[in-house]
Amino acid sequence: MSDRHVYEYALLRVVPRIERGECVNAGVLVYCRPKSFVAARTHLDEARLLALDPAADLPGVRAELRAVEGVCAGGDEAGQAAWDDAGRRFRWLIAPRSTIVQPGPVHTGLTADPAAEVERLLDLLVR
């Protein structure tokens, strides 16, 4: 039996001016159903964001990114989603939104270690 499991992931994008459609990748969400694993890691390149919109609300964006990480972590930080399973929290987070922090399309892969995959994807696609 393989020790690798299917996982899903989506990028978190910051779209400071919706009408322009420009974005900065600022995080990654990873969900692995067989492991009941969901996690988010974020990294905001403030200089890149300010290059797109010098008036971007940096404290607001940072707060939204922290909130996503909190929902993934569960517990008190997850608010109403605290008692939802990992899959429901992931599906809620990837639902389309018209806010500044938006999820990208969902992609899949195989991994033996979902937690390591979160870091690998953050390094590859965000940093």
- Tell me, yes or no, whether 2 lies in a domain: no
CA distance 83 to 97: 22
Q: What residue numbers bound the domain in which 104 lies? A: 7-125
The size of the chain, in residues, is 127
pLDDT in tens, the chain (127 residues): 479 999 999 999 999 988 888 999 999 999 999 999 999 999 999 999 999 999 999 999 999 999 999 888 877 766 777 678 889 889 989 998 778 999 999 999 999 999 999 999 999 999 9
How many domains, in total, are found in the chain? 1
- The answer to whether residue 53 is domain-embedded is yes
Six-digit token pair at 85? Answer: 């399973």
| Structural domain includes residue 18 | yes
Residue with tokens 């600022």: 26
Please state, in angstroms and rounded to a whole number, the distance separating the CA atoms of residues 7 and 90.
Answer: 11
Query: DSSP label at 100?
Result: S
User: Residue 118 burial (CB < 10 Å; 0-12/13-18/19+)?
Assistant: buried
pLDDT score, position 78: 67
Letter for the amino acid at 120?
Answer: R
